[in-house]
Chain A
Amino acid sequence: MNGGGLAGPVIPRTVPPVALRVVPTREEDDVPTTGADPFASADDEAVGRGFAAGDERAFAVAFARWAPLVHGLALRRLPDADAQDVVQAVFVSAWRTRAGYDPDRALPGWLVGIARHRIADAVAARLRAPELSTVDDRDGPAAEPVVPDAADAAADRIVLLAELERLGEPQRTVLRMAFFDDLTHVQIAERTDLPVGTVKSHVRRSLRRLRDRLEGSA
């Protein structure tokens, strides 16, 4: 057996909020001082709520936090210039449609949902573009259906991990143990002092929630 014995009390591995300062990046930017930005070091949930409420500071922080991720996702399917266009379109669209964002959901998951559609549209547009076609046809090649691939799985993973972080306690700890510590529900019950039935119920409900959120983002 590797890994030695069972570990002691499991401390949830919390992800510290990413510290971001909202400050001018260049001297000539002449951005007015906005005072202490409440979102700069806020956790993801607070940023999501600020964004939903139409707070531009929260939007700016959301961009800093997740635009590079959306960019990375887009670059899996698209060349540089198109990927940058997609990132831009995703965030413009996110801001305009923020009324449709439910702040009980993870904001990165919602952004990834928008990104999936934008990326698929951009891929389809490239396939239609005659100058990219290797055959000299007048109508352009038919757009191939976008099939699930590794890029979609990577997007799924972003959504799922973000939603996992949004679970309350003790559900989050229970599910992390089931996913990452490979513990059975009985072992989780022993470690958390929760009844076995409660652990099973948390596992089922939490996984159902993750699945619903994932299907809602696709």
Chain B
Amino acid sequence: MSLPDPTAGPHLTEEEAVLAALGEAPSPAVGQHLPTCAACRAELDTWRRLVTTVRDGEDVPPVPLPPGTWEAVRREAGLAPTAPRPDLSVVAPRRDAPRRRDGRARRWLPVAAALVVGAGLGAGAVALRPDPVPAAAPAVASAELAPVASTGRGSATVRDVDGHRELDVSVQGVTAAPAGVLEVWLLDSDGGLLAVGTMAGDQLNVPLPADVDLARFATVDVSREPLDGDPAHSSDSVLRGELTPEA
């Protein structure tokens, strides 16, 4: 057997990248490729920054200039004293820069349980365990989560609780996009991914089915997901870390 190609599928086309940056749901192929390709994630982040700046960037309020500024410019620029002068007594009305309308939730759909079907992971995997895990439960594996592109941190711990495994994830300094959630995934080195669950605030605690091989799905990934009803990975990963078995 040869080693798997570290990146899954083809790179994003520019069209796929700009549509994803605008918030459209990526195709399954894109969702599979992005977690495996830093170059495409970086390109997507560049487009996302542009989109965010246009949609939600801060406006600069114009500030009137003191009298004499135009005269100084006119002199220094070498314009004749007879040059026309701008009428600064007419205060330019503040232009209302365009903004995203409030109806940005127009595309909101009831979020389906964000499950990647297969790999033996049943629907029960995302059910939040009602009782908090006793902190004393022994850790089986753990990961420090580091920011993928910007800031934040977190940790993931797999514990053995009464003979079954549970995954605890907690994050700091990262937030979901407006009208979105943070979702936890397990990635393998072959581009495969498992949806583990949706974080409530900055915490997640879910049971891990016994079939999930942590030697294979060793990467914990936290992504920002729009509530668009698309169960695929948004490709907007914020934190990531490798699970290492506890000694």
Contact, CB under 8 Å: A157 / B84: no
Interface residues of A (CB under 8 A from B): 1-3, 6, 13, 15, 18-25, 29, 31-32, 34, 37, 56-57, 59-61, 63-65, 67-69, 71-73, 75-76, 84, 87-88, 91-92, 95-96, 150, 153-158, 160-161, 164, 176, 178-185, 200-201, 203-204, 207-208, 210-211, 214
Contact, CB under 8 Å: A203 / B22: yes
The CA-CA distance from A142 to B103 in the complex, in Å, is 48
Residue of A2, A60, A92, A201 touching B85 (CB-CB under 8 A): A60
The CA-CA distance from A84 to B65 in the complex, in Å, is 7
Residue of A19, A64, A88 touching B72 (CB-CB under 8 A): A88
Secondary structure class of chain B's binding surface, majority of residues: loop
**For residue A59, which residues in chain B have a CB less than 8 angstroms away from its CB?**
77, 79
Chain B interface, number of residues (Cβ within 8 angstroms)? 58
Secondary structure class of chain A's binding surface, majority of residues: helix
Contact, CB under 8 Å: A210 / B50: yes
Q: Which of B1-9, B105-113, B122-130, B231-239 contacts A (4 or more CB under 8 A)?
A: B105-113
Shortest C-beta distance, B69 to chain A (Å), equals: 6
The 3 lowest CB-CB distance pairs between A and B, nearest first, are A3-B103, A64-B86, A68-B62
**For residue B60, which residues in chain A have a CB less than 8 angstroms away from its CB?**
69, 72-73, 76, 154-155, 157-158
Residue of B at shortest CB range from A33? B84
The CA-CA distance from A208 to B18 in the complex, in Å, is 9
25 contacts between A and B (CB under 8 A): A3-B102, A3-B103, A20-B87, A29-B85, A31-B84, A57-B84, A64-B88, A68-B62, A68-B92, A71-B64, A87-B65, A87-B69, A88-B73, A156-B57, A160-B50, A161-B54, A161-B97, A179-B98, A180-B98, A180-B100, A181-B101, A182-B106, A203-B19, A204-B14, A211-B46
Shortest C-beta distance, A163 to chain B (Å), equals: 10
The CA-CA distance from A210 to B93 in the complex, in Å, is 25
**For residue A73, which residues in chain B have a CB less than 8 angstroms away from its CB?**
60
**For residue B99, which residues in chain A have a CB less than 8 angstroms away from its CB?**
180
**For residue B100, which residues in chain A have a CB less than 8 angstroms away from its CB?**
179-182
Shortest C-beta distance, A170 to chain B (Å), equals: 17
The CA-CA distance from A32 to B87 in the complex, in Å, is 14
Interface digits, B69-86 against A, CB 8 Å rule (1 contact, 0 not)?
110110011011011111
